[in-house]
Amino acid sequence: MVCSALKNKFPEIKTEIVPITTKGDKILDKPLTQIGGKGIFITEIEQALRQKRIDIAVHSAKDLPVDIPEDLAVSAVLKRGDPRDAMVTRTGENIRDEKSFTVGTGSVRRKMFIRKMYPQVSVSDIRGNVDTRIKKLLDGNYDALILAAAGLERLGIKNDNISVLTLDIEKCLPAPCQGIIAIESRKNDSAVCGYLSSINDTDTFSVFETERYILKLTGGNCDLPLGAYGHISENKIFLTLSDKAETAVKGFAPVEERYRLAERLVKEL
């Protein structure tokens, strides 16, 4: 998606995708909170950026730690995809609110929201990429999975053996920056930063900054069940926050006052 965006603006540009396996991709038998939180998905990629083995790093924005190294910067984001979570089940099977029904997720936030919606279900940790998780579902290890709707859509997951139910934002508030693709570069690389600024979606970037500021204010990491979602309409930003899947707080303000709005809502949590 990033390569396509660049080529649409600069047809002459040549791109090469460099796959990098991170610590988070390798250690699949422990919850994220036990192996280092969000940074485990980006450290090796940022090292490659510093060593100039790559020119830009492409991340799922919700995997980014609150603090970015001083020599690096998120220079652009693509237009936000679907921010919602999705419940994936085997085709023909309905969600049952009972202990024998097991939902797989590694997210503390998703666990709390699912237990709020379905108090009796069993919730169990799961790691691995989307294909691996779906295989575990089809093998009967889980009765349902909670995954990011944007991830399923971008991967083009099509399988007649699964059903996907997208969860309403009001019932299951997404993680901050869910559905956003962030593009990181070296701060002093003005040429690359120039390319990236041309593909940056400004509304999404404002929401990205605001939701990350909320994370910073709350000391957010993988072990915090924080939900946050913002969208922009007519130069106003509308924010919804929740903590521990409790009643959400909401507000809106002009986009230029987004940080003050975030501060006020965090105090209300």
Distance CA 222, CA 108 (A): 7
Q: Which helix (H) or strand (E) holds 231?
A: strand 226-233
Residues designated catalytic: 63
The full 3-state SS of 69-95, as one line of letters, equals CCCEEEEEECCCCCCCEEEEEECCCCC
Q: Within the chain, how many helices (H) and strands (E) appear?
A: 10, 11
Helix axes 202-218, 258-268, angle to 10 degrees: 40
Closest-CA residue to 207 (of 140, 247, 252, 154): 252
Specify the 3-state DSSP secondary structure of 259.
helix
- Chain-centroid distance of CA 219 in Å reads 17
Distance CA 157, CA 145 (A): 14
Between the two ends of the chain, the Cα-to-Cα distance in Å is 36
Q: Alpha-carbon Rg of the chain, whole angstroms?
A: 19
Q: Exposed e or buried b for every residue in 39-74, given b needs 16+ CB within 10 A?
A: bbbbebbbeebeeeebbbbebbbbbbbbebeeebbb
